[in-house]
Structure 1
């Protein structure tokens, strides 16, 4: 198989015992008992190709022996105009974007459980499973449905402050076999009423994307934004600027932190956590840092090769006469020391937050 293009392709590979999923895309898997959960990783976000396999791997759960789809959440959906994506289809429903953890209902021999997007045994999933089974009776819930929730409780706060609210907010319902979503109105609304689930706030007064964008500008940091479902099946998210500003501050997304992470070899941790809205900015920082490292190393290496190296005095005189601005790097190279830590420390990076590092090393 050259490429995964259908859910059936994934099922067939699972049945065959296939495990080398990175061959087909930037997707991680976790196995727990007889279940396998698929989740795209930060490399999928960084590269931005978004193959079919990567898009559907957003909490997809399959049975390891039979290949049965146990749960199927939302496929990956994007911010409005992210990567040039948009639609001109009519709006179907506009809902609040709830700020918690995604939860996916699935069935086991012991009853119902909830997983998070990439983990069958997460803390949030365990909390949600306990909350579900102590507050709701899902008798007669159609077997083919995956219920998709937002998990909210105080210890799971992201940015929005919900106070002491503890809740499972029903966002959508999806046929795990066909992949079809139930219409929000009336089907999801009826499911919520029947089983006692909360629903996200809806905004019937918004009749166009322009309406949403206009109101988006008025949101404070305690409102994440909106999700629009369109008539062609597309979903897009719209996040408020004040929410994003606070999110960036809380999670420490800055050039300085990215620089330190690259120096320490922990930049992957930033990529694993960065929201889509900030990914291009972080990618630009990484590219800038890599560019400086590579160009500086190349310049220093070229100068070092041209310099006389018979004695340290000859070398020093030549450096002072010809390459004084990179003298510190050249002397480090002469002494057999790595120059990359010096570049990180002393290069004038041109960002206000790093000015304290811009010392003369000549």
Structure 2
């Protein structure tokens, strides 16, 4: 069995854990630990050998041997640089339907029991639902030793955008050699449930043409695998992205509201599709710059007025009156008075930089390539 530190150095893992790019969860019985990159990683585009490989990676908590090794992080086609896009045009592809559910990572306990976790949790609602399906529908399934089974967890209550009607099942996506991390040839590997069958597009050009003219509006897109290097890329239909944007209610105002409320941007992006991280990042920088500029202007005027009033012969009542006269000549007398009376003006300044309502247009980050 491969060891955790066959993938990366201990120092690099600790560094990414310390920066908040990777988090862990221990299984209820204490025997397994799962590693998953965080939303902060996606937001900052902090992709490296550790974050790309901790996408539901599961180890034995005592030996640190790798128990399950899911897909490495893979990106939208538009996030690749132009040179990589051009190079991939010359290679044969395997194309699969992209499912709009939750990734399920199969793993085995020390007792031999086969279980399913989601990308970052042994006990998420989706993981619990997946394990109920295993117990009730596939109780006799025995995974092949040394392989990682990856599933899409699909059921009505877990719908994101695509409506799969009454489908409630575990769709086998792929099987990975746990030691090498390489995808095995397509097959069911004794899985008795549904299997994600390949779509018969053999070139990237065919896939691009289909994505641009896809007639089915109730679908997410494709995942394309390049057999020569085991690379995967995602393709999402414009209609899916449009609906996803609507359902997630991302706008300039929702970003502004989060900042004005003092909510950490990491908490906000928990509810944002990763396709819109670049756009959110731009809005955060713009709004924070607007806030800093406005706040500094108010403080500058306040200091200017106060300096003019620092005369020994001016009593408190007269000083306040003179302050009022000076404050009325500025665009923000109310804020100046709040400062004069010792109040914090953070919330007031945020109100002054409230943006016009805008929805995002998807602008993928080159940094994530």
Gaps of 5+ in 2: 311-318, 360-369
Aligned-pair distance for 1:347?
Answer: 2.8
The C-alpha deviation readout for 1:48-106, integer Å capped at 9, x for no partner, is 12011111111001111111111111111111131637442313211111010100111
Distance 2:169 2:223 in 1: 19
1:97 aligns to what?
98
User: CA separation of 1:271/1:117 partners in 2, compared to 1, >3 Å: closer, same or farther?
Assistant: same
1:11–1:67 Cα contact (<8 Å) kept: no
2:126–2:158 Cα contact (<8 Å) kept: yes
Distance 1:135 1:350 in 2: 51
Distance 1:349 1:309 in 2: 35
Residue of structure 1 aligned with 2:341, choices 327, 331, 335: 335
Q: TM-score, normalised by structure 1?
A: 0.85
1:39–1:58 Cα contact (<8 Å) kept: yes
Higher RCO (CA < 8 A, seq sep 6+): 2
Residue of structure 1 aligned with 2:270, choices 244, 269, 272: 272
1:359 aligns to what?
none
Distance 1:144 1:333 in 2: 66
1:138–1:195 Cα contact (<8 Å) kept: no
Residue of structure 2 aligned with 1:224, choices 195, 207, 220: 220
- Two-structure CA RMSD over aligned residues (Å): 2.5
The C-alpha deviation readout for 1:129-148, integer Å capped at 9, x for no partner, is 12123323665632101100
Distance 1:39 1:116 in 2: 10
Aligned-pair distance for 1:176?
Answer: 1.4
User: CA separation of 1:312/1:25 partners in 2, compared to 1, >3 Å: closer, same or farther?
Assistant: closer
User: What pairs up with 1:1-362 in 2 under 5 angstroms?
Assistant: 7-8=4-5, 22-23=17-18, 26-32=21-27, 33-82=30-79, 84=81, 86-87=84-85, 88-89=87-88, 90-108=91-109, 109=111, 111-136=113-138, 141-184=143-186, 189-191=187-189, 194-204=190-200, 206-219=201-214, 220-230=216-226, 231-266=228-263, 267-307=265-305, 308-309=308-309, 311-321=319-329, 323=330, 325-347=331-353, 349-351=355-357
1:358 aligns to what?
none
Distance 2:24 2:77 in 1: 28
Number of residue pairs the alignment of both structures matches: 336
Aligned-pair distance for 1:190?
Answer: 4.1
1:146–1:174 Cα contact (<8 Å) kept: yes
Distance 1:97 1:309 in 2: 68
Aligned-pair distance for 1:21?
Answer: 5.6
User: CA separation of 1:102/1:190 partners in 2, compared to 1, >3 Å: closer, same or farther?
Assistant: closer
Gaps of 5+ in 1: 1-5, 354-362
Distance 2:76 2:136 in 1: 35
Q: TM-score, normalised by structure 2?
A: 0.83
2:172–2:191 Cα contact (<8 Å) kept: no
2:100–2:162 Cα contact (<8 Å) kept: yes
Equivalent residue of 2:33, what SS?
strand
